[in-house]
Each structure stands twice: as structure tokens, then as C-alpha cells.
Amino acid sequence: MTELYKLSIQEAGAMLRARQISSVELTRAHLDRIRAVDDKVKAFTLVTDDLAMRQAHEADIHFANGNTVTALTGIPLAIKDVICTKGITTTCGSNMLKDFRPPFDATVMQRLNAAGAVMLGKTNMDEFAMGSSTEHSAFFTTQNPWDLERAPGGSSGGSAAAVAAGMAMGALGSDTGGSIRQPAALCNVVGLKTTYGRVSRYGLVAFASSLDQIGPFARSARDAALILQAIAGPDARDSTSSPQGVPDYGANLNGDIKGLRIGVPEEYWVDGTQPGVEKAVRADIEKLREMGAEVGEVSLPHTKYGVPVYYIIAPAEASANLARYDGVKYGYSYRDTNDMWEALEKTRQYGFGQEVKRRIMLGTYALSSGYYDAYYKQAEKVRSLITEDFTRAFEKFDVLVSPASPSVAFKLGEISDPYEMYLQDVFTIPANLAGTCGISIPGGFSHGLPVGLQLLGNFFAEDTILRVADAFERVTDYHTRWPEL
């Protein structure tokens, strides 16, 4: 029999409902896997053993009594440490919040709890979700399960690595400029960035409020659809959440994409893309053509402005959002002084890491008097042009296809130049600026390391990109391969 930690959510769910396995057995298998390999990978900031076993036991009672269950009842999942969990530390990978225990659950946690899911623990991340390598965590660096000397991507690197290494059947992450899709690409798992407003942000610790979105990691498109089904939908506590109803994301996963129109953005073949990545993705596009999709070229002319626009808007919003960490209300507080201003200054000096301070300074500058019109206002105008590019493209095509990352996993410590690191998100940032949805799925290998294939969809077209992702998985085996740990 397959080791329990290697089952898909769909397979495990069927076995749980048939009483062939128990949630306690399934959860214990994942906790054992965490004990076996997480000292190498370092994906978790906190493992909630007791809570997980208690939730698994409750799930088994529901199965035994014939109660109504969901596709996630008894399924062990991991949660990015930027999502509030009541009474359980939520650190955001920062010394500023290392002892913070929220008094409430995020909406996505309430929905996972209502679905009967099991929480294994919280996963490591770049501090306040600012980074593309998980090297900016205040606590430790997460390693890529495919090569422990390489980065798992970021900022949701812990969630991606946990799923890739079999330590969780799925996970939640957040995506502000690629923080789900880029680590999914580097770790050979599925990572879905939802349409802005599709999933409630209530209880997601804010980085850039007009860009952040919560989404799932999984080892298949079907599993990602099951998690999305549980967390999507309107929320009165999030004024940016969409009132739009939630479709059945599994309904059209039938393997058929004949006649679907797939656009290949010509601007997404940028200089600096590794040849192995380009070769794999071009082969993937041919595979989609062979499957019956109609493939054509499309232009997104303002794509080249995506990175500079993002690094004005996101830091500006971060500057405003992170002003709340002043040492007064919660979080780290410098107390070795009687001077209020020194206390505030030292709190932020010692509480924040280097990358967070860099972005706060960038954002404060962009918003400052005399520069607001020149930078922030201009960036918002170009953001509108990027959104219009996507709107025009989706009039002709159902899905757009590109690499998810310009490179395979890079070595830890290899990228020291902040701007070079920012370019890791060159293919993922435009969808965040526009607010559309996107998914990275396993798309092949280059020199033994995973390559991510990105599928971009229109607003609220998660069902369409999941359909293409699922069909692609049926004719390839990339997503079934495991790293040797």
C-alpha cells in the first residue's frame, strides 16, 4: 500500500469515507513525516500536534456516526504563518510578532474548521510576505526538498516545501506578487492565486491590501479545487470580498480542453529566462495544442512595467499597513527607555528585518510630499493599463500561458542584489496588479529541478484554469514525481 502521506486529498477522502483508513492514522502519518524530514527542510515554524490529533479524532467520530462530511473532513493541511489562528502564534516570520496569539480565527480558518480539516501547523515565510526565497524569515531559512542547498521560493516557501515533501496534503499561502505561484513552481506543486475578492482576506495579516490574496497549495489541480471550494465566497467582514457566488470547481474537471483558446503572451519570453525553463514551457504549450486547444500569440504591451509599478504600489501600501507596529498595542515593544520616540524608533529598528525596512522606506518615499504625483499616482495609472491589457487579451483567449518563474530553484544565498531577487516575480506580478487569477502547475524539469507552468485566467475564471491544469496533469506525470529526501 502507498505510504499514507503520498495519497492525494481526493484519494484519502475516498478512503476515509469508505472507513478504509482513519483520520487519526492519516494525521499521525503526516506528523511522523514532519518528524522525519522537517529538520532538513525547515518548513514549519510551529507544529500543532495535539490540536491536529484532536481534530482528527473528531473527524473520525463524524465518519463513524454517518454525519455529513466534506471533501476536507479529516484531511491534514498546513497554514502559512500570515493567517490568523485563534490562540495559536501567528508570527508572519517576524520578530515583531514572534509571540503574537490572535484572539480570533481568519475567515479561511473558520471555513476550514467548519469543513472538518486538520491543522498540522504554521509554515515559514519571508517576513511579512516580503521576499521570493524564504531567506527573509526572522527565524530560519526553509530549504527546497528537491535540493536542500536551494531556495523553495517565497514568500510562501514553507507551505510549498511542506506539500512537496509530503508533510501536508495541502496548504494555504498568500500571493501579493507571486508568493504562491513562484514557490509552487520551484517546489513542483500546484499553487493557485485566486481572483482578488474571491477569498476573504479577513484575518490575513496585511502586506499590500489591494494585491494580497489567499490561495491553496496542493499536489494536483483537483486537490487545489477541493481546498478552494472550502475557502472561497463572500464575507461581510471583508469589504473587498466579492458577493459573487461560488461555482462547483470540480464539475468541469473532465480532461477535455478541445477548442479552448490559449494565448501565449509574447512579452513573457524575457531576457534572463533560463533556456531549460523556456524549453520545458514551450514543450508544454505544444502538449496543450496536441490536446485540442487552439493556441495563438497575444500581446500584453505594458507587462514590462509590471515590476517597477509593483515596487511602488506594494511598498507604499506596506508603509501604511506596517505603521501599526509601534510597540504600543501588540507585538514586540522596546522598553529600555523613558522616551516615547526612542521607544517607537527602537521597536521598529529591532522588530523589523532588513527587507521589510527597505520596503517601508521605498513606500514612504513614494508617498511623501512632492513625490506622490511623480511615483504613486503614475504607478496607479500604469496599473490600469496593465489591467486593460488583460481585459483585451481575455476577449480573444480563455487562458494565457507562460513560465511561472524565469529560473529553476536558485541556491540559497546566491541572489544578493534586491533588484535581481525582485525580478524572480516578473511573470507573476502582472496578474496581482490586474486582480485576475493564475495557477502554477508542474510543467517539467531542467537539470533535475522543477519548472512551473503558469496558467492565467480572467476575473473569477478559476474553474477554467483548473480545468486546463487538470487536463494537462492527465497526460503528463510531472506532478506525480517526488523529491528524494
The set of long-range contacts for 415-418, using a CB threshold of 8 Å and a minimum separation of 24, is 415/133, 418/355, 418/358
The CA angle 409-410-414, to the nearest 5 degrees, is 165
Sign of CA dihedral 80, 171, 454, 4: positive
Question: Who contacts 129 (Cβ-Cβ below 8 Å, separation ≥6)?
Answer: 82, 92, 93, 155, 156, 174, 176, 179, 207, 212
Q: Which residues contact 63 (CB under 8 A, 6 or more apart)?
A: 16, 17, 19, 22, 23, 69, 73, 74
State yes or no: is 179 an active-site residue. Answer: yes
**Can you point out the beta strands (E) in 104-161?**
118-123
Q: Which grid coordinates belong to 244?
A: 459573487
Looking at 42, 80, 122, 193, which residue is catalytic? 80
377: which residues sit within 8 A by CB, 6+ positions away? none
Q: CA gyration radius for the chain?
A: 21
The question of whether 80 is a catalytic residue gets the answer yes
Active-site position among 179, 319, 405, 446 = 179
Question: Do residues 407 and 183 make contact, with C-beta atoms less than 8 angstroms apart?
Answer: no
* Helix (H) or strand (E) run with residue 17 in it: helix 9-17
Task: Report the candidate in 382, 469, 484 with the shortest Cα–Cα distance to residue 185.
Answer: 469
Closest CA to 267 of 305, 310, 306, 299: 299
Catalytic-role residue among 22, 132, 133, 155: 155
Give the C-alpha separation, 28 to 4, whole Å.
Answer: 9
Distance of alpha carbon 269 from alpha carbon 287, whole angstroms: 18
Residue tagged 502582472 (cell numbers): 430
What are the φ and ψ backbone dihedral angles of 41, each rounded to 5 degrees?
A: -85, -40
Q: Name, in order, each residue with C-beta under 8 angstroms of 376's C-beta and a sequence gap of 6 or more.
A: 312, 313, 316, 366, 367
For the record, the C-alpha cell of 325 comes out as 507596529
- How far CA 97 is from CA of 119, 217, 346, in Å, comes to 20, 24, 15
Q: Which residues are catalytic?
A: 80, 155, 179
